Amino acid sequence: MTAAPLATGTAPDTAGALLSVRGLTLDLVGGTPQPGLVQGVEFTVPKGRSVALIGESGCGKTLTAMAILGLLPRAVRVVSGEIVFAGTDLLTCGPRELRRIRGGPVGAVFQEPMSSLNPTMTVGDQIAEARRIHFREGRRTAREHARELLDRVGIPDARRRLDSYPHEMSGGMQQRVMIAAAIAGEPRLVVADEPTTALDVTIQAEILELLRDLRRDLGLAVLLVTHDLGVVADFCDEVVVMYAGHVVERAPVRDAFRTPAHPYTSALLGSVPRSDHARTPLQVIGGRVPPAGSFPGGCRFQPRCRHTAPACAEPQPDTVVGSGHHTRCGRVAAGGLQPGREL
């Protein structure tokens, strides 16, 4: 018996959202133009919540984050859409207004602290710089705030470490310095792009615990870009799944993990080892993410999907499958597939 079709044609609920991305489309311009690197991306980050952007490399996660921060490469152009932060569309802001927002109300933590921190400046000066720019503090006051921030993120002997250079610190300590610099401007939102990828498991857990404490104490919202589903399950409230520049599913983390509604989400979960299925072979997603300019029509996942059907060649509707749970799969919309771990 086929289930009844689900509701379609919905957009993210922006009520109470601190950040709202609506219809974001990015093209690669230049020598070999490639349209639709990111296409029609929509999601929200509510106040004080943590939202994950997940997917394989090449799915558009980092480009989406860089668009929010106004740090896109010159060869990538915003074609359409809105990125509304606290009522302001960041895509309409001039360079001066973006500099006021970036590093102030919106902080950033990047994947490789050693390449993000300035090797010629002490960590104290780099953290104090945000205080001096955004709050017009004097050098002494900003330095004292930098010491307090280093202490807050768990750097031992913070006063002495103010005069250290990045290369004199371990990878975990460098990432803590990046977090201290990110919150120096007293942000409401932190965009964290793979903040734990280069760290060992123990340090990774410490960094996540630090971010969790800062969320609780400062009321931060966090947009976490990651491919680590364990981090998502441990840290995030909601998840946005991207594939080949499209958002294919967005849902509360618990719903996405228990009843994934898109075959790609289900395949990602199936590729992660589970302690309750120790002897079960891991699922392999055949093929790879297609490069920009070679995206198939309709569902971009169809060449790798084991549930593909002729209808998958058509544009896929955004479909409601539960409270706050949306998917972009025509077979689910038509009732031909039911959400679940065995999708």
Evaluate whether residue 160 is within a structural domain. yes
Q: Of the candidates 160, 184, 208, which is a domain's last residue?
A: 184
Least confident of 115-119, 199-203, 271-275: 271-275
> Starting at the edge strand that comes first in sequence, how are the strands of the sheet with 50-54 ordered?
106-109, 189-193, 221-225, 50-54, 238-243, 246-252, 325-327, 319-322
Give Cα separations from 329 to 166, 257, 286 (angstroms).
Answer: 46, 17, 19
> How many distinct structural domains can be found in the chain?
2
Q: What is the mean pLDDT of residues 115-129?
A: 94
Backbone phi and psi for residue 308, each to the nearest 5 degrees, phi listed first: -65, 150
215 and 71 in one domain? yes
pLDDT for 60 equals: 94
pLDDT for 342 equals: 62
- pLDDT category at 106 given cuts 50, 70, 90 is very high
Evaluate whether residue 95 is within a structural domain. yes
**Tens-place pLDDT, residues 296-343:** 889 999 999 989 888 899 989 899 999 999 999 988 887 778 887 666
State which residues form the domain around 41.
Answer: 1-105+188-275+287-317+331-343
pLDDT at position 6 over 60: no
Q: What is the mean pLDDT of residues 227-238?
A: 92
Q: Of the candidates 184, 200, 235, which is a domain's last residue?
A: 184
Q: What is the mean pLDDT of residues 38-55?
A: 96
Q: Of the candidates 168, 184, 200, which is a domain's last residue?
A: 184
- pLDDT category at 1 given cuts 50, 70, 90 is very low
Sequence-ordered list of residues with C-beta below 8 angstroms from that of 168, at least 6 positions apart, any chain = none
Q: What is the mean pLDDT of residues 203-207?
A: 87
79 and 46 in one domain? yes
Evaluate whether residue 45 is within a structural domain. yes
pLDDT for 9 equals: 55
The answer to whether 260 touches 332, Cβ cutoff 8 Å, is: no
pLDDT at position 186 over 90: yes
> With b meaning 16 or more CB within 10 Å and e meaning fewer, what string describes 293-306?
eebeebbbbbebbe
Evaluate whether residue 211 is within a structural domain. yes
pLDDT at position 88 over 90: yes
CATH code of the domain covering residue 40: 3.40.50.300
> With b meaning 16 or more CB within 10 Å and e meaning fewer, what string describes 240-263?
bbbbbbbbbbbbbbebbbebbbbb
Best CA proximity match to 42, nearest among 51, 50, 34: 51
pLDDT for 272 equals: 83
266 and 165 in one domain? no
227 and 311 in one domain? yes
The answer to whether 182 touches 190, Cβ cutoff 8 Å, is: yes
Best CA proximity match to 35, nearest among 82, 84, 80: 80
Q: At 204, which amino acid appears?
A: Q
Quote the pTM value: 0.91
